[in-house]
Amino acid sequence: MSSTTRQRGTRTATDLLPLTGEPLALDLVNTTYVHGGTRGTLMDALTEPTELDDWLRSCLPRLGARLRPGLAALLDDLPAGPGHLESYLELRAALRELSGTLVAGAAAPHPALAVVNRTARLAAGWLEFAPDGGTATAHWTEPDLRLVALGEIAASGVELLTGPAAEQVRACPAPGCILYFVRSHARREWCTTTCGNRVRVARHSKRLREPAGPTV
């Protein structure tokens, strides 16, 4: 597997992600993936702040309703900085580690737990009456809404990895794949149909290469 390669071209790195629509915590984990199977290239959709903003825009519909309007305006008006990207990458690494230990049935590492717990606190917020008394406004302990969103993603990871859906979290078993998914139905075995088809083709090719048994 070669070194991490940045996606280029007219489409954004987020557009090229092979798997989206999982719980937000896993979607963040899955911003790193392997393109091309066992001999493929490790790809990263979050290598610079502009790519983080692209990814956050794709997540807006699934973030909290109180957060969405302000975050959408922030994404349009003020670009993310290197510190934002660093914070998201730190959470991504911790969530990947915790997802892996969950799937393996191993003990959760305390440093990763500490990162997720600390980050989840960024989502703490409340409602206050507006001056007219008839409407409410949202406030958060953390004033940076990108970090509030990060906190929501961390909190969603705690809920996922400790709740009833935790039993259905899977690491894709296809060789070379590093994606995680929630097994949403009994027949789902792979993260995507692409991985499933690749494995089936490999099995078929192996059978064709195997020597035929002796004839009677």
| Residue 214 is assigned to a structural domain of this protein | no
Contact criterion met (CB below 8 Å) for 33 and 5:
no
pLDDT at 74: 98
pLDDT at 4: 41
Residue with tokens 């958060």: 140
pLDDT at 6: 42
| Residue 188 is assigned to a structural domain of this protein | yes
**What span, in angstroms and rounded, lies between the C-alpha atoms of 175 and 77?**
42
Residue with tokens 């290239």: 41
Q: Total structural domains in the chain?
A: 1
User: Which CATH number goes with the domain that contains 190?
Assistant: 1.10.3300.10
pLDDT at 13: 95
H or E stretch at 34: strand 32-35
First to last CA, the chain: 45
| Residue 216 is assigned to a structural domain of this protein | no
pLDDT at 197: 81
Look up the domain containing 50 and give its range. Answer: 2-209
- Any idea what the Cα angle at residue 68 is, between residues 140 and 18, rounded to 5°? 120
pLDDT at 201: 58
Chunked mean pLDDT (size 10), the chain, 216 residues:
44 94 97 86 97 98 96 97 98 98 97 98 96 91 98 98 97 93 90 81 52 56
Phi/psi at 61 (nearest 5 deg)? -60, -20
pLDDT at 132: 87
